[in-house]
Structure 1
């Protein structure tokens, strides 16, 4: 059964995360953190804040960059992961690097089989059927080799993070205006989270 925690800004949703852990009796303490989406970003302080929040809660962090680690190591670490955490950053670059190593089927298998998954911003968006809707907030130019915008297809909604939050106020509103009639957009600000358990989801 899927156990998924999605946010715009993980460090801003720690209380919801603790409730998520307690309600689902998740006892694992080792988190495989994938900060790859931040590789092409100028500012990545939110990644450090998210990692520190987990450490403060007693979790052990294993860091994995799918872009720069070899494929065999990446596959092995994901296979062994007790909890998965994919951070924010550029969604298109993240998906490009995941597809470069053919990791989508493995991630889908892990998530569908019940491995707890934390997705922050880009890490939440990639669960949708497609990430094309995020091209207003993120630049596809960071992923010149990505020709197919198909995501993992884990969720039947499209997470819209940072809803009316600086510095995304204009681009997130433009994204909403352009796509909300065509897609099942689910907007969340930096202090809300989406919890998916099995086939059900709710915003907290």
Structure 2
């Protein structure tokens, strides 16, 4: 695993301040990628996430690869201190990133040191394969997607809401059974993963 800085969350943004400030300073500029939720008419949780980040003292600017060219998106990544990838449908997120030509610039920026914060779908997409999320998100809602290979920033697939808060515990149990041969990390809403300095740590979320 490369020496990258990732904070992967299931739901709550409480750990963001303590993760980001030592790396990029107070008042950092966060690029907010809302893509995973663009297919849903109700995006209330995006407003709540933006407000939470601002309440923690950060500047928040939307960086939406579905609305701008790949070149503009790539340039925007060079003008922010950290990137935040919101929750929603992970299949749509991956398909939209690929369709927009934004997946490789995002990976390259993170590998060059841009801190990455991913919530729910934004956490799931960082792994090797999003196929195990098919019981939690509907693949048919996705942008055109020819492969479920993820961004491959980490070597496990994060399964969020592991206590069953989204879709019920039955789906989590089925995922655990049906994908027992895959490297999965089941992440509860009160937990977060910090991947930094070549190590992975579970912290309170």
Q: TM-score, normalised by structure 1?
A: 0.90
Q: How far has the Cα of 1:73 moved from its partner?
A: 2.0
Give unmatched runs, 5+ long, in structure 2: none
Aligned to 2:7: 5
1:81-116 C-alpha deviation (Å, 9 max, x unpaired): 210000000111111110012222211211112111
Q: Which has the higher helix share?
A: 1
* Conservation of the 8 A alpha-carbon contact between 2:74 and 2:106: no
Aligned to 1:154: 153
* Conservation of the 8 A alpha-carbon contact between 2:13 and 2:49: no
Q: How far has the Cα of 1:190 moved from its partner?
A: 1.2
Q: How far has the Cα of 1:144 moved from its partner?
A: 5.2
Aligned to 2:133: 134
1:172 aligns with 2:172: yes
* Conservation of the 8 A alpha-carbon contact between 2:65 and 2:102: no
In structure 2, distance between residues paired with 1:64 and 1:115: 14
1:59 aligns with 2:61: no
C-alpha RMSD of the superposition: 1.7
Give unmatched runs, 5+ long, in structure 1: none
In structure 2, distance between residues paired with 1:17 and 1:188: 16
Q: TM-score, normalised by structure 2?
A: 0.90
In structure 2, distance between residues paired with 1:184 and 1:112: 21
For 2:38, what is the secondary structure of its paired residue?
helix
Structure-2 change in CA distance of 1:66 and 1:25 (3 Å):
closer
Greater than 4 Å deviation, 4+ residue runs: none
Aligned to 2:109: 110
